[in-house]
Structure 1
Amino acid sequence: MKLKRSVRCLATVAAGAVVAATLQISTAQGATPGEQVQPIDWTTFGTYAGTDAMGQRTKTILANESRYLIGPAYASKYTAYAADGYLNLGGKAEEAVRLPAMTALSAAIALKLGVYNPVNLSAANATTRDVNLIRTVAARHKANNTDSATAWGSGWQTSLWAYYDGMAAWLMWDKLSATDRDKVVNMLVAEANRFTTGNATFLIGTSGQELYMTRKDGTSADAGDSKVEENQWSAALLGLATAMMPDHPQATAWSTRHKELLVAATARPADLTNPATINGIQLSTWLKGSNIGDDGTVINHGLLHPLYMILDQGLNEAATAGLAKKCAPVAALRNTNFVYDALVDKRYPTSNGGTNTVYQPNSANIFYPQGNDWGTTFAGYFGGFDALVSIHGQDGLVATKASTWEKLHNDAQIALQARHADGHTYANNSENSYFGKEQRIGVISGLSYLSLWLNGNSAGDKACWS
């Protein structure tokens, strides 16, 4: 890792207006939407075999999960095409859109980086399925689709879905038709442009969802629900749009808002009086609130919640930028070391009057100080984060380094997959109640492996921060 010094309530954008705006920009540039994308120049990268211990574990998890997702999971879910030639996704809600987008990204990384296991489905057929998912998710976005029954977008979480699908599309750009490339760009531009209307207080516009859980004056903007996650996934979409389309007329606005959301995402109360300037933003004057405790803890769903202390979305910024041969904003790293220390070393009260750490010494077990409303089994979530923390050197405050925890957690994740011949992870909903639990393992392991691939590339470390 190199360091260079150098909503829930969102505004709605009409699909027709988005399409018109996108086409006007494209016409002014004399290019179709898809031609505004700078494809990944794979010739500038070398290789990474993943033969180191961390690489082997991450590679195994990704190979297992991607084989399951693009194989039997795809075959059981995507059984019909609509009249327009795109897959029938089953609607426009999170389950219908986010899940295929996550599958597309995990499979794209596995296929592109040579991790895919073709034991039951050839790489060629897996690629065909992956392209089908990518093109369908983009085609169903409001920027390309006026059917109210299937059109998605402009919602609380939709920037994340667009990020997953857009990242997959960029990786598989050479496999997409010109028409489908245009639709991917229309989707990304529509989602990205919403955020440029926000300010230092609100995510979008001048009302609705705020950027913070706690305001600067100490009042609560959203009690018990940190905005770390929402800010980081919105920033991820902006970072991707900027990386893919650096010469787009809106790229400067996207880049500015990208940095702002990253600064807001992990702001601590101590930052509110900190005169430091990060990526051109002075913390004490710009910040209007905070999202994590000074001790690195994160509150979500009304709980001190270790799952929401997994800041993988911020650390994944280096992978997105690295594919464009750029450095990611150092704001994405800010306070990650405090959060990781709160997972590893901070002690929390237990019900028997003692104290305990979230990470259990010499064990893959996780202690949830106030419980976990998602289930019991998340080794792969923590293992993916451990890998990223280790790659990007964010474990400077802890006694036991991230590489040690990565082995414990990812060995446990591999053991979970070993229970199932098709490579999937979970046995039941009590282990993890999220309906996209398998897809979540897919993107966690995929993006962790992409970071490893960039960091250990034979052509030199391609991951950096500025």
Structure 2
Amino acid sequence: MTSSHRLSRRHLIGASAAVGAASALGLPAAARAAGTAAAPGGVVPIDWARLGSYGANDAAGRRVKAILAGSARYLIGPWYAGTYRSYLPDGYIDLRGTDERAIRLPAMAAVAATTALVTGVYDPRTLSAANATIRTRNLIRTIAARHLANNTNPATRWGNTWQSALWAYYTALAGWLFWDELDDRERGHLAAMTAWEADRLTTGNDVYLIGTSGEQLYEKRRDGTAVTPGDSKAEEDNWSAAVLSLAEAMMPGHPRAPVWARRNVELLLAAAACPADLTGGETINGIELSTWLRGTNIADDGTLDNHHILHPLYMVAFDQSLYEGFVYGLAGRAAPRAALHNITRVYSALVDLPFQAPDGTMKTIYQPRSGEIYYPEGNDWGTHFPFYFGNFDLLVSLTAQDTGIDPAAASWERHHNEEQLAMMARFDDGRTYGASGENTYYGREHRIGAMAGQAFLTLHLARKDKLRFT
């Protein structure tokens, strides 16, 4: 990303004075002062010049670019305008709560918007880049300020919950990408939030996610006994690993960075653990699987269950593990090899594993030569999720985890992402979904945006030969 593709903080903040209230929710004058410290909390900013520019002129790049541009335009445009209408007395926008809707959704929107803005993908046809920057900064600075590491008000603070590590990851990623647009206080809030959530996860061991009781790392124990029947812990493990990886990549000189790095590897390996790992002799990133692992989350055939069904949507949730490639790549480093553990096994199950359908025929989850998905035991989230799969296809292809699988992941990416673009083409504002039954998750548009941002960054790093695992 050359300087010509990046936003100038001086230009954008200066331009905001001329922005009308009808087109953007501008920053209060008291909140505009820019700090001068380069790295509060020990954060090392991204060296954009080292990463180079990526025009997304290849076929996959054009598809993902279009998905990101549309999603970011919708989220920071109509969705933001309809959600945030005023400031609170302390100068922050009103998040209207502390639950998943209030925190995760704007954090995912911020990932989409920051990625689009800093890479030059942003589409300004309905909202200028200057106004989009003001809105995006509002999301980042408010969410970080409301985290309990920075906020003593029990009515407005969030954190220390089942999913808060993921919310912190999204917010921190957006903030790191937007570092030049934040002032010193905002940067400090981001660093404190990220370190706090990462530290919380280092209290666990080889059985428990946090502490020595409560949520566990595995669905099944070593002997096969179900701890959480029908509910794999793979997704929780790898979204928790995400904030650890980001904390260590952003703050490599932090005194706790080595502990974050170790716990990140542990959670990645636990997330993808299968019965074969318990008796094999493999050592990954210094951890001998057969001795450290206390249980499993996926089957040897690569499938997993969630919500008491074999659930393909949770199989592709290993996208969060593969995103570590771009996270460490932004810091100029290789991601841990643990992020790739058993990905080929899972992907093979999507492409090649046959299941008996109700009509007696045998079907694979990926339907031949199409973007259709077969759900062997149904799908309780809705009917249309092409980008969930197209995103995973892209990541698998870029990390070469489809070796020996035919057709290759790149061909599936085209099928699934062309279907995603067809869904988006139904609307003028960049959104993906219409009828609620297509995807019943209340953050469905935000999930598309967050995936698109992270997929595009992975693609950028891969095309510049800076996506490495070791």
TM-score with structure 2 length normalisation?
A: 0.91
Q: Distance in 2 between matches of 1:156 and 1:364?
A: 33
Q: Which residue identity does 2:414 align to in structure 1?
A: K
Q: Distance in 1 between matches of 2:414 and 2:199?
A: 40
2:214 to 205, 208, 227: 208
How does 1:286-301 map onto structure 2 within 5 Å? 286-301=292-307
1:113 to 108, 119, 122: 119
The residue aligned with 2:420 is: 413
Matched, 1:381 2:385: no
Query: Structure 1 residues 392-401 or 130-139, which shifts more?
Result: 392-401
The residue aligned with 2:103 is: 97
Contact 1:32 1:182 in 2 (8 A): no
What is the CA deviation profile of residues 41-96 of structure 1, one whole-angstrom value per residue up to 9, with x for unaligned ones? Answer: 11212111000000000000000100000011100001111111011011000000
Structure with the greater relative contact order (CA < 8 A, sep ≥ 6): 1 or 2? 1
Q: Which residue identity does 2:352 align to in structure 1?
A: D
Q: Which residue identity does 2:418 align to in structure 1?
A: D
SS at match of 2:363: strand
1:338 to 342, 345, 360: 345
Matched, 1:79 2:75: no
1:61 to 54, 64, 67: 67
CA 1:365 to 1:247, structure 2 compared with 1: closer, same or farther past 3 Å? same
The residue aligned with 2:468 is: 464
SS at match of 2:172: helix
SS at match of 2:437: coil
The residue aligned with 2:193 is: 187
Q: Which residue identity does 1:137 align to in structure 2?
A: I
The residue aligned with 2:269 is: 263
Percent identity reads: 54
1:397 CA displacement: 3.1
Matched, 1:249 2:255: yes
Contact 1:33 1:185 in 2 (8 A): no
Contact 2:39 2:45 in 1 (8 A): no
Q: Give the paired residue count.
A: 433
Q: Distance in 2 between matches of 1:326 and 1:80?
A: 41
The residue aligned with 1:21 is: none
What is the CA deviation profile of residues 308-331 of structure 1, one whole-angstrom value per residue up to 9, with x for unaligned ones? Answer: 010110110000000000100111
Unaligned runs of 5+ in 1: 1-30
The residue aligned with 1:325 is: 332
1:368 to 375, 400, 421: 375
What is the CA deviation profile of residues 152-185 of structure 1, one whole-angstrom value per residue up to 9, with x for unaligned ones? Answer: 1000000000000000000000110101111111
1:435 to 442, 445, 460: 442
The residue aligned with 2:94 is: 88
The residue aligned with 1:142 is: 148
What is the CA deviation profile of residues 261-313 of structure 1, one whole-angstrom value per residue up to 9, with x for unaligned ones? Answer: 01111001000011211000000100000000000001111010000010110
Q: Distance in 2 between matches of 1:360 and 1:169?
A: 39
Matched, 1:448 2:455: yes
Moved over 4 A (4+): none
SS at match of 1:383: helix
Contact 2:269 2:341 in 1 (8 A): yes
2:245 to 239, 242, 250: 239
The residue aligned with 1:176 is: 182
SS at match of 1:348: strand
1:155 to 149, 157, 161: 161
Contact 1:189 1:241 in 2 (8 A): yes
Q: Which residue identity does 1:346 align to in structure 2?
A: L
Could you say what the CA RMSD is over the residues aligned between the two structures, in angstroms? Answer: 1.1
The residue aligned with 1:17 is: none
Contact 2:219 2:297 in 1 (8 A): yes
SS at match of 1:464: coil
Q: Which residue identity does 1:99 align to in structure 2?
A: L
Q: Distance in 2 between matches of 1:304 and 1:272?
A: 22
TM-score with structure 1 length normalisation?
A: 0.92
Contact 1:259 1:279 in 2 (8 A): yes
The residue aligned with 1:307 is: 313
Q: Distance in 2 between matches of 1:353 and 1:314?
A: 35
Unaligned runs of 5+ in 2: 1-36
Q: Distance in 1 between matches of 2:39 and 2:165?
A: 19
Q: Which residue identity does 2:57 align to in structure 1?
A: T
Q: Distance in 1 between matches of 2:52 and 2:201?
A: 35
Q: Which residue identity does 1:229 align to in structure 2?
A: E
Contact 1:338 1:397 in 2 (8 A): no
Matched, 1:422 2:438: no
